[in-house]
Chains A and B, each alone.
Chain A
Amino acid sequence: MPMNTKTYDAIVVGSGITGGWAAKELTERGLRVLLLERGRQVTHGKDYVGEHQAPWDMPFRGEGDRQRYARDFPVQSQCYAMNEYTESFFVNDRQHPYESDPSNPFLWIRGYQLGGRSLTWGRQVYRWSDLDFAANVEDGYGVDWPIRYKDLAPWYDRVEQFIGVSGAREDLPHLPDGEFLPPMKLNCVERHFKQALEKQYPERRLTIGRTAILTEAHNGRSPCHYCGPCERGCSAGAYFSSLSATLPAAEVTGKLTVQTDAIVEQVEFDKTRGRASGVTFIESISGQRRTVEAKVIFLCASTLASTQILLNSRSEVFPNGLGNSSGTLGHYLMDHVMTAPAFAHMPGFEDQAYYGNRPNGFFIPRFGNVGKQNRDYVRGYGCQGYAVRMGWERGLQGAGIGLDFKRSLRRPGPWMIGFSGFGECLPNYNNRVSLNLDKRDQWGIPQLKVEFRFGANEEKLAADFRRESVSMLEAAGAKNIVASDEVAPGGLAVHEMGTARMGRDHRTSVLNGNNQCHDVPNLFVTDGACMTSSAWQNPSLTYMALTARAANFAADAIEKGVL
């Protein structure tokens, strides 16, 4: 149906992890939803052009066109998930510019298409606990979260039941168990590492990653077939994405209208009612601007994009951006500290191997500053990694030619084990995004300027990771251990969050405990922008739970006639 013949109860901006959830929950509550996606249409299955492709069928054997990447994808190509099989799911940096200090870059990894980055995400899903929700008020960095674990727990349940999460129950207070499908399995060297680690450090735990990948059929989706590179897309729908799960669920209601190639420029504010009246978007293909109205607006465009829209929604009442009476909009940007991995050779196990490509690894939940402050920094990190047998790639290094060389590469190589730390980033006022009104993109929208650097606490945390990773690997008898306290540039963990934080006080935060804008009650932001702290867990599960909770809060309010 043509969009302009309908009226809408809700507009959802963005179709990624959170936009899909907002659309699903709101339509299932009977609301008519317009979902606006700035990128192109992508059809589940049909447009997964790299799925199961052999390297010899790709011109650059999967590596991609280096010269074109340098020209058009200098930022995106630094993301581990971008390659020749997946490049259609990443934006052209040249066409979508933003500003960041070259000597201190922030890498903004983006996917402008239906489904957004839910097509290429890392799929690791962990609940937070009150160790995380209370952290700000306990140590004084950042404002207090307006919610606690009990507020979110039923929504974690709801999300996990729908998306399907495989994982092992561990009964750890600081990493609550969830509604799990059967866990994937650790390989022999990972099991050995687990035993050695838990013997040496009884308070530490190694578990298989909790991942939004099915280990059995679930809600009409098929289990994983272990091809490995999920980020190429999965026709079987074995990993959760908007395209495999939430958008089809929203479609079924008959209440969803999707418009792709629609770039939201700003949220319109009606000052007489004190409410958002709708959004103005640009049809990227025709360049035409259109305004559409609704009772409630959900910004789910991704952390930086949602904040960019708010900053660009300037009016008499909100000259510095919509909902920014606190002056905190754009501030307190965070990304996880992602360390260089520690890795090592694990001797032995030469007659052991695995079959299949498990798209998941092991997880060592945070062990520092749990229960008591016992480190020279606050907060903590978890470790994520895996053990593999080296393959043919070891032929790229070291001497050797001829038949002996070829015969040695024909066999599985030695076992390597490695893991990275993913650590908490403290909220810092100076880490922020702003608009550059003098630099605009091809549609006339002011470019975003990102200023970000890790601080002393993050550096200490990375140094601790280096020390601890060496001790843990030594405990397992690993050899040739390599570890450093180098960390990836901001953005590369692709866990960017904050800039429109939740809080109890409208003077120091943008959103309340229901992800509702303090200043504009029918405006909700439920993507990573809402985060008040970063914790140490991969954040998408929490974004989804917050979105489902906020959507149902909004639907209740509409039913009651409050919104």
Chain B
Amino acid sequence: MDRRTILKWALAGSALATPIARALEDSAPRRINGGLPLSNSEKILLKRLVDLIVPASETPGAVKAGVVEFIEFMLQHWYRDDEKRAFRQGLQALSLALQTQLQQNPLPAETKRLEKALAQLDRAVFEGKEAEYASAYRQLKQLTVIGYYTSEIGASQELAFHPVPGYFNPCQTITVEERATFFSVLKEMS
């Protein structure tokens, strides 16, 4: 069969539900102006957070892979105005939550401390914690993951990219070092 069945409309409700769209459903329009560009402090916050989610390792991290620019592009073209507003407001709430936890402005916070605070918040959100920032954080994380693994760095350096494999081997033994192959599954999952 084609990918149609499993992948396109049906993963909804599963462990693999719609990436961004699902998170958007629960974001309601609120106070903040939806207009772009993002403010400088928003951009700095994004930069710090995306590189904590997908940091540099043996390959470059999210910032270098253009994830901040990708998020700005998506906010501008993918998001509707009400969604943009909700996202920016959620981001502000996220910043405040981090500030409360760190007892300082997160922008200049020391990386280790910020990472620890973000990891706690990440766990809480995925355990179902209700918070003003929860939806925005899920969107941010999904945008970061999508933006990174569909970038040239993410797809072809961090993962193995085989646009024209040439043949099919149905079953080969792999080592624990084997990189996963990039495959575009976004549309099918939405």
B19 in contact with A396 (CB, 8 Å): yes
CB distance from A457 to the nearest CB of B (A): 21
B52 in contact with A353 (CB, 8 Å): no
CB < 8 Å neighbour of B158 from A226, A360, A410: A410
A409-B180, A411-B178, A412-B180 are known contacts. Are A398 and B1 too (CB-CB below 8 A)? Answer: no
Which size class do B's interface residues fall under? 35 or more
A396 in contact with B145 (CB, 8 Å): yes
B174 in contact with A62 (CB, 8 Å): no
Q: Which residues of B contact A228 (CB under 8 A)?
A: 183
Instruction: Give Cα A355–Cα B182 distance, bound, in whole angstroms.
Output: 11
**4 tightest A-B CB contacts, nearest first:** A384-B1, A420-B5, A80-B8, A356-B168
| 12 A-B residue pairings within 8 Å (CB atoms) | A59-B73, A123-B2, A184-B168, A188-B171, A209-B1, A227-B165, A343-B6, A351-B175, A357-B168, A409-B145, A420-B4, A480-B15
Q: Which residues of B contact A66 (CB under 8 A)?
A: 78
CB distance from A31 to the nearest CB of B (A): 35
Any B CB within 8 A of the CB of A83: yes
Q: Which residues of A contact B179 (CB under 8 A)?
A: 410-411
CB distance from B160 to the nearest CB of A (A): 10
Q: Which residues of B contact A82 (CB under 8 A)?
A: 187
| Listed stretches A312-320, A387-395, A498-506, A540-548; interface member | A387-395
A391 in contact with B15 (CB, 8 Å): no
| A interface SS class | loop
Chain B: residues with CB nearer than 8 A to chain A?
1-11, 13-17, 19, 52-55, 57, 61, 70, 73-74, 77-78, 80, 115, 118-119, 122-123, 125-127, 141-142, 145-147, 149-152, 154-156, 158-159, 161-176, 178-190
CB distance from B14 to the nearest CB of A (A): 5
Q: Which residues of A contact B119 (CB under 8 A)?
A: 401-402
Any B CB within 8 A of the CB of A442: no
CB distance from B173 to the nearest CB of A (A): 5
Instruction: Give Cα A184–Cα B159 distance, bound, in whole angstroms.
Output: 26
Q: Which residues of B contact A482 (CB under 8 A)?
A: 13-14
B171 in contact with A227 (CB, 8 Å): no
CB < 8 Å neighbour of A402 from B11, B115, B126, B152: B115
A391 in contact with B146 (CB, 8 Å): no
Q: Which residues of B contact A60 (CB under 8 A)?
A: 74, 77-78
A392 in contact with B182 (CB, 8 Å): yes
Instruction: Give Cα A421–Cα B70 distance, bound, in whole angstroms.
Output: 38
Contact with B along A174-202 (1 / 0, CB 8 A): 00000000001111101100000000000
CB distance from A384 to the nearest CB of B (A): 3
Q: Which residues of B contact A81 (CB under 8 A)?
A: 2, 4
A188-B171, A401-B118, A406-B57 are known contacts. Are A418 and B5 too (CB-CB below 8 A)? Answer: yes
Known: A54-B155, A393-B186. 6 other contacts (CB 8 A): A191-B171, A226-B167, A343-B6, A389-B180, A393-B189, A412-B174
Q: Which of A395-441 contact B (CB under 8 A)?
A: 395-403, 405-407, 409-413, 418-420
A384 in contact with B180 (CB, 8 Å): no
Instruction: Give Cα A272–Cα B9 distance, bound, in whole angstroms.
Output: 53
A186 in contact with B170 (CB, 8 Å): yes
A225-B165, A384-B5, A392-B159 are known contacts. Are A403 and B171 too (CB-CB below 8 A)? Answer: no
Instruction: Give Cα A14–Cα B9 distance, bound, in whole angstroms.
Output: 29
Q: Which residues of A contact B146 (CB under 8 A)?
A: 61, 396
B151 in contact with A225 (CB, 8 Å): no
Any B CB within 8 A of the CB of A23: no
CB < 8 Å neighbour of A354 from B77, B170, B189: B170
A61 in contact with B122 (CB, 8 Å): no
